[in-house]
Structure 1
Amino acid sequence: MSASIAVILGLQVIYTDLYARRVPNRGLLAAAMAGILAMLVLPSASTGLADAMAGLLLGLVLLLPFHLIGWMGAGDVKLFSVLGLLLGGSALLPLWIIASLLAGVHATTWIAAKNGVFPDFIANYPPAIRAYRFVNESELSRKMKASRKGRRGIPYAAYLGAATLLIVFTGVSHG
């Protein structure tokens, strides 16, 4: 049951972080409360309350320093903690590795684009021109930029959401 809640949370966070660079507290709180309720009502269908609380605290302890030095948003830390609650402490290392690899690809691509690696490819490949224009000149793009209100950066929470889906559907952390 907790894994199902984590999947729903993961999907919601992928959307909100990619669209607006936000991780809504209401969604995190609702997922945490639903997870705790599921553990109390259906203890056999979840990680167990003790492992869940350990996962919550471990998630907080692991990522809070990154927030305190300004490398990560508070929403990323809170999401990681709630995922620890829902999936247990054993899921945190795979979540962290997968999300960090995805964020690393994002950062590498951004740096390459900023340093002019892609303009020749885009200029010489017409489908890339159409895709670039669609992404950057569409109404959806304008709405996304407006909803972000200047917030920029790597959408780490979205990558945590994607990692959650991968872990739950492949059973990476649970054998």
Structure 2
Amino acid sequence: MKNLFQEINVIENREPEEVIYETRLHWISFLPYIVGMLFTLPSLFAFVIIFFTYVSKGVKYEDTQPFEFVGLFTSGMFSLLFLFLLYKYFLLKSIKVQVLKNSLTLRSGVVAQEVNDILLSKYEGFHLHQSAMGKWLGYGIFRVTTGGAYQSYKIKDPMGLRNTVMNQINEINK
């Protein structure tokens, strides 16, 4: 995927920009998904066991009790929830916030990649919130605003990101 973006820069006759600063999401961002996966994982095992028990016995619909289908349906739904949480976990794991020479880049994607470049010259707003717990654990909520839309992330080392962005903006404005 890195080669794809380098090829785009070559087509546009630009040199690939050097990454000045890069950060990822803090582990606290993943916590709700990890807890959810831990609670739904047993239902995934139950679904597989119940399903293969039915398949191996060759059980017919007429031979089953209604509550058996309720268990299969419920464990199946929780199994789908587990898979959804797993996807969201990997999606959050893929998010990168990068400061380049002239832009702030937000990258994400598991299967397909989404890249949002925010030119520092068009920069509208930068909001950083760091609670007492955030200072203690080393994370902060980072919100970028451009064109009325905003994105918010719990990132590692928010002050390092802020200082780097401000330094780059000062260099551009010189």
**Shorter-chain TM-score tier:** under 0.3
More helix by share: 1
Higher relative contact order (CA 8 A, sep 6+): 1
Q: What's the TM-score once normalised by structure 1's chain length?
A: 0.24
Q: What's the TM-score once normalised by structure 2's chain length?
A: 0.24
Structure showing greater Rg: 2
More strand by share: 2
